[in-house]
Amino acid sequence: MPDPTPTQAPTTTWFASPDDAVARLGEVGYLADTATGTVGFLAGALEKPLLVEGPAGVGKTELAKAVARAAGADLVRLQCYEGLDEARALYEWNYKKQLLRIQSSKDDQAWSETHDDIFTEEFLLTRPLLTAIRREEPTVLLIDEVDKTDVEVEGLLLEVLSDFAVTIPELGTVAATRRPFVVLTSNASRELSEAVKRRCLYLHLDYPDAEREREIVLSQVPELEEKVAGQLVAAVGRLRELELKKAPSIAESVDWARTLVALEIGDLDDAAIDRTLGVVLKHSSDTDRAVRELRLRA
């Protein structure tokens, strides 16, 4: 069995300081606040997984991608969903291929030989968690939307994220030679287990303040006039104050900006808001409510 502890672990310096994190994320188009910069720096420096929680569309997934861009690392992504299991998350034996090998093996071959043959690298299907651990290059491992999995998967994550090592009974233990930068995201549709939370650094991402949102929108849609950007961000702010089923997120602000540019709307007054509200609000009950409360059709 190979030695699970690598002799010399190459370390990656992800960010030099919290300020460096903010600056370098900014260079690759991700506008981070102090909290995000600090936590991003710490996740790299302490080699601890980072759990990012918050409503949909506030930049949780994008943060992981931006870290990869900023550090010149590759992104390995595990998208979670209900029913995700070890075979999809970690590894699986390609048993169709194994079966074909057994059937085609010569009669005189001993079973033990065949057995040794079919539990080798060739028959192993690696999934994102194992892939990320085995990579020798700097890697960002994004475990996206953890709250969508079943609770058992958290146990698996906990194991992998504690030691950054995976034991495959037939092959031995595979330990990371270089720890990936791990980002877990959650929309908090359910509470994650205390154990997972204890293991991670925690960042709650929320809707940005008006100034930062304006910067984000303008950086993504530079064709938008500054004045309209201000109006748009103010309107989005008002919408978020209403009790909506799905409050508009940064993604919706950006979509809205693109729409306004495409429609050549140079002044976002009530009539223009009313006309384009469908881009921002996804539920008709929300649209009704917004029209009513903001008195768009006065």
Partner 1 sequence: MTGSGLLQRHLSFLEALRGAGLPVSLAEDLDAVAALGAVGWHDRETVRETYAATLVKRLGHRPTFDTLFDLWFPRMIGGGVAEQGRAAADETSSEPTSRDNAAALADLRERLSAALTSGDEQALAALAAEALGRFGAMPGRGPGLSSWSAYTALQRVSPADLVGRVAQGLVDGGLDGEAAERRAGGRVGDFTRRVEDDARRRIAEEKGAEHVADVAVRPSLDRLDLTTARRADLDELRREIYPLARRLASRLTQEQHARRRGPLDVRRTVRASMSTGGVPLVTHHKPRRPHRTELVVLCDVSGSVASFARFTLMLVFALREQFTNVRAFTFVDTVHEVTHHFTPGGDLADTMTALAADTDKAATWGRTHYGRALSRFASEHGDAVTSRSSLLVLGDARSNHGDLALDVVRDLAGTARHAHWLNPERRRHWDTGDSAASAYGAIVPMVECRNLAQLTEFVHDLAR
Ligand X SMILES: Nc1ncnc2c1ncn2[C@@H]1O[C@H](COP(=O)(O)OP(=O)(O)O)[C@@H](O)[C@H]1O
* Binding positions for Mg ion, rule: CB under 5 A: 61
Q: Which residue of the chain is nearest ligand X when measured via CB?
A: 59
Distance of alpha carbon 155 from alpha carbon 269, whole angstroms: 51
Q: Indicate which of Mg ion, ligand X, partner 1, none lies near residue 83 (CB less than 5 to 8 Å, by partner kind).
A: partner 1
Q: How many residues bind ligand X (CB under 6 A)?
A: 17
Nearer to ligand X, 57 or 138 (CB): 57
Interface stretch with ligand X, choices 1-9, 92-100, 170-178, 246-254 (CB under 6 A) = 246-254
Between 215 and 270, name the residue whose CB sits nearer to ligand X: 215
Q: Which does 198 bind (CB under 5 to 8 A by kind): partner 1, Mg ion, ligand X, none?
A: partner 1
Options 25, 32, 51, 216; binder of partner 1; rule CB under 8 A: 51
Distance CA 232, CA 207 (A): 14
Least gap, CB of 282 to ligand X (angstroms): 14
Q: Which partner from the list partner 1, Mg ion, ligand X, none does 59 bind, CB cut-off 5 to 8 Å by kind? A: ligand X
Q: Judged by CB under 8 A, how many residues of this single chain contact partner 1?
A: 43
Smallest distance, partner 1 to C-beta of residue 147, A? 8
Q: Which two tokens stand for residue 110?
A: 């001993």
**Where does this chain bind partner 1 (CB under 8 A)?**
17-18, 34-35, 38-39, 41-42, 45-46, 48, 51, 53, 83, 95-96, 99, 103, 147, 150, 188-191, 194, 197-198, 200-204, 234, 238, 241-245, 283, 285-286, 289
